């Protein structure tokens, strides 16, 4: 099994480095500099780069990494990303050289049209699709696409570690409490996250079980969540309409 190292980048991004012995892989390297710093400090060899989508804060460092390390680059076929050597649509299995790890590729359109996620060894690297306590904005896809994508991810085993790409948890949970204030698991999670952030600690990874219990975007059939959505959009009666109402509400929260 590989170790997962969190590499902060920009204001609130996380780049994930997978390490087994001297071999390393990175997920969504928006900036090469902090990745190279870890690789050089630890004496690692970068074998693989996994990209979830085309936004610059997720793939902007690929070219600089390739200039130093001849890594194999995996990424979405439907998006234009320089350096990709194997294009993926979802349904494939990819092997990470040196880390003894295979990942299932899951198509998760919504945030972008070609967005993919990687699942294996009990870990989910989901980019900007599923966040701790929230989900990505719909920059290119539709509410229906995102709802279906989240359903695919929430069907993974409950103990799956969710490695999203941003430290958005505290803000997401403030919104979640506005939607579902009567959820005791959500209340406890918000308290735990507040303590962690006050201490300067990260709040990810979470787990699929935690998200199903406290993330409103995975709880669009729960009565309190439905009622909150209907206060915003009275005609929001089915799961998709509830999800769409929540996503629009979150955009302006």
Enumerate the active-site residues. 53, 55, 57-58, 111, 128, 166
| Pair of tokens at residue 85 | 């050597």
| Pair of tokens at residue 230 | 């209907």
- The phi and psi torsions of 155 (rounded to 5 degrees) equal -80, -5
Residue 92 burial (CB count, 10 A): 16
Give Cα 232 distance to the centre of its chain: 27
Say how far apart CA 127 and CA 123 lie, in whole Å: 12
| Pair of tokens at residue 100 | 């003894």
At a CB cut-off of 8 Å and minimum separation 6, what does 120 contact? 101, 102, 103, 104
């Amino acid at each position: 099994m590989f170790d997962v190292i969190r590499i902060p980048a920009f204001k609130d991004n996380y780049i994930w480095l997978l390490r087994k012995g001297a071999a390393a892989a990175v997920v969504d390297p928006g900036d090469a500099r902090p990745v190279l710093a870890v690789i050089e400090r630890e004496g690692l060899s970068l074998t693989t780069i996994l990209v979830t989508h085309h936004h610059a804060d997720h793939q902007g460092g690929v070219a600089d990494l390739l200039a130093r390390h001849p890594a194999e680059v995996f990424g979405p076929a439907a998006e234009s990303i320089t350096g990709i050597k194997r294009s993926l649509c979802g349904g494939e299995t990819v092997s990470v050289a040196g880390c003894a790890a295979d990942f299932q590729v899951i198509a998760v359109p919504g945030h972008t049209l070609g967005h993919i996620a990687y699942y294996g060894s009990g870990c989910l690297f989901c980019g900007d699709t599923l966040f701790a306590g929230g989900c990505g904005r719909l920059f290119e896809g539709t509410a229906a696409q995102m709802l279906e994508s989240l359903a695919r991810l929430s069907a993974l085993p409950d103990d799956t570690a969710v490695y999203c790409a941003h430290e958005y948890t505290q803000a997401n949970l403030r919104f979640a409490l506005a939607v579902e204030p009567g959820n005791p698991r959500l209340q406890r999670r918000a308290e735990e996250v507040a303590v962690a952030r006050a201490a300067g600690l990260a709040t990810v990874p979470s787990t699929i079980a935690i998200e199903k219990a406290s993330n409103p975007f995975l709880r669009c059939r729960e009565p309190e969540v439905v009622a909150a959505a209907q206060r915003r959009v009275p005609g929001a009666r089915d799961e998709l309409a509830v999800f769409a109402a929540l996503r629009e509400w979150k955009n302006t929260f």
